[in-house]
Amino acid sequence: MRQYESDERIVMTLDAGGTNFVFSAIQSNKEIVTPITFPSNADNLELCLKTITHGFTQVRDILKEDPVAISFAFPGPADYPRGIIGDLGNLPAFRGGVALGSFLEEKFSLPVFINNDGNLFVFGEAIAGLLPEVNRLLENAGSSKRFWNLFGITLGTGFGGGIVIDGNLVVGDNSAVGEIWLMRNKFEKNLNAEEGASIRGVKRFYALAVGVPEESVPEPKQLFRIARGEAEGNMAAAREAFHMMGEVVGDALANAITLVDGIIVIGGGLAGAAELFMPKVVAELNSRFDQVNGGSVRRLETQAFNLNNPEELNAFIRVDERTIRVPGTVKTIAYDPLQRIGVGTTRLGTSIAVSIGAYAYALRYLDNEE
């Protein structure tokens, strides 16, 4: 996979949220300007487009060299390859379809690339985050095993996902790849997974455990402190809330990873509580299905390891290759019988991973055009 840490080209970026738009620029996988923030004006299309134009103009005026592209994350649904934004919940001004990519190309005479944050997050981690770190550790350990596929999720207000296969970001025919939030909820089959794998999910689990209205529950950052005994509150209920979220996440990932077979990276605001929910995620991946005849079968063909846990990480990278003989010959070949995957949190930070993903996504496309 091509790396861009020495690439001198500059790409302007945007982190688009329902409340604020944050504009920046990336060069050589690094942010090179102080981010500029403006209110999104989410319910007024004319004002919102003026804000986006003004933000990128300010960034361009700061740069010492001309940028080669604009590339950024924007919520869906959308037709990302054509730069058309659809009916957004948190940005209602775009309902009905807005050709945002073409609009910006006209304004700045630059190629414009748009994707969602889940996709760009996982691409950033595949380029410069968890995936290359895992492969470096395997190489240093003397293992011939390497990983080329990455499934990434973001845990926060929502439950997003993205897929990189053999170094390529998968977009899909409808720009709808990796929509893991639409998996079925483990605990309530009529709900989607996002209702349990998100900020509101953790708060709801805590509210149910202590018997209080959901609106009275503190934010997850405070629940995390309660769970660790660092703040007043029901410690057992707080821990259980994160455990239940971990089971929902693990159940959804177990379904998704059967189709990808690679490393899993977790980002988003809730990733900081991984010490509480990660063991449940990995336990779910390593769980078993009952069989009609009374036996059981592993849920996954692969064994999952918690890459945030030093002991499990060591077991994951441990070289256990054996030499087997090619039948009918005197030749031998190395064989590692352990089929394994690893689950770890972002190594770059979610926001930086999205920016690096946006940067690489634009440069990869420009290089392929040439």
Based on the domain organization, do 229 and 90 belong to the same domain? no
Asked if residues 39 and 79 have their Cβ atoms less than 8 Å apart, the reply is no
Quote the CA–CA distance of 40 and 27 in Å, as a whole number: 25
Residue 4 placed within a domain: no
Based on the domain organization, do 85 and 183 belong to the same domain? no
Token pair for 22: 């944050």
pLDDT of 334 reads: 86
pLDDT of 1 reads: 63
Domain boundary among 87, 115, 143: 115
First to last CA, the chain: 18
Based on the domain organization, do 24 and 143 belong to the same domain? no
Quote the CA–CA distance of 342 and 281 in Å, as a whole number: 11
Residue 62 placed within a domain: yes
Q: Are strands 322-325 and 78-79 parallel, antiparallel or unpaired?
A: unpaired
Quote the CA–CA distance of 160 and 357 in Å, as a whole number: 15
Q: E-assigned strands of 87-149?
A: 112-115
Residue 99 placed within a domain: yes
Based on the domain organization, do 89 and 145 belong to the same domain? no
Based on the domain organization, do 156 and 266 belong to the same domain? yes
Residue 64 placed within a domain: yes
Token pair for 108: 């700045």
Token pair for 100: 């945002």
Residue 124 placed within a domain: no
Mapping DSSP onto H, E and C, the string for 211-228 reads CCCHHHCCCHHHHHHHHC
Residue in the structure block whose two tokens are 């998996």? 183
Helix, strand, coil shares of the chain, percent, nearest 5, are 40, 20, 35
Domain boundary among 90, 115, 140: 115
Residue 336 placed within a domain: yes
Token pair for 102: 């073409």
Asked if residues 278 and 312 have their Cβ atoms less than 8 Å apart, the reply is no
Asked if residues 73 and 325 have their Cβ atoms less than 8 Å apart, the reply is no
Domain boundary among 47, 81, 115: 115
Report field, pTM of the whole predicted structure over 0.75: yes
pLDDT of 253 reads: 98
Token pair for 71: 């590339």
State the CATH number of the domain containing residue 252.
3.30.420.40
Based on the domain organization, do 76 and 172 belong to the same domain? no
Based on the domain organization, do 203 and 323 belong to the same domain? yes
Based on the domain organization, do 141 and 64 belong to the same domain? no
Q: Are strands 322-325 and 332-335 parallel, antiparallel or unpaired?
A: antiparallel
Within 10 angstroms of residue 196's Cβ, the number of other Cβ atoms is 25
| Phi, psi dihedral angles at 131 (to 5 degrees) | -60, -50
pLDDT in tens, the chain (370 residues): 677 888 999 999 998 877 788 899 999 999 999 999 999 888 899 999 999 999 999 999 999 999 999 999 988 888 999 999 988 777 788 888 899 999 999 999 999 999 998 999 999 999 999 999 999 999 999 988 999 999 999 999 899 999 999 999 999 999 889 999 999 999 999 999 999 999 999 999 999 999 999 999 999 999 999 999 999 999 999 999 999 999 999 999 999 999 999 999 999 999 999 999 999 999 999 999 999 999 999 999 999 999 999 999 999 999 888 899 999 999 999 888 899 999 999 999 998 899 999 999 999 999 986 5
Quote the CA–CA distance of 305 and 263 in Å, as a whole number: 10
Based on the domain organization, do 36 and 149 belong to the same domain? no
What type of residue is 195? E
Residues 6 or more apart whose CB falls under 8 angstroms from that of 180 comprise 153, 159, 160, 161, 193, 252, 253, 256
CB-count exposure of residue 287 (10 Å: 0-12, 13-18, 19+)? middle
Residue 1 placed within a domain: no
Cis peptide before 77 (omega within 30 of 0): yes
Residue 193 DSSP symbol:
G
C-alpha R_g of the chain: 22
Question: What total of structural domains would you count in the chain?
Answer: 2
Based on the domain organization, do 22 and 104 belong to the same domain? yes
Based on the domain organization, do 150 and 87 belong to the same domain? no
Residue 102 placed within a domain: yes
> Given phi > 0 = left and psi -120 to 50 = alpha, else beta, which region is 365?
alpha
Based on the domain organization, do 185 and 262 belong to the same domain? yes
- Owning domain of residue 255: 130-347
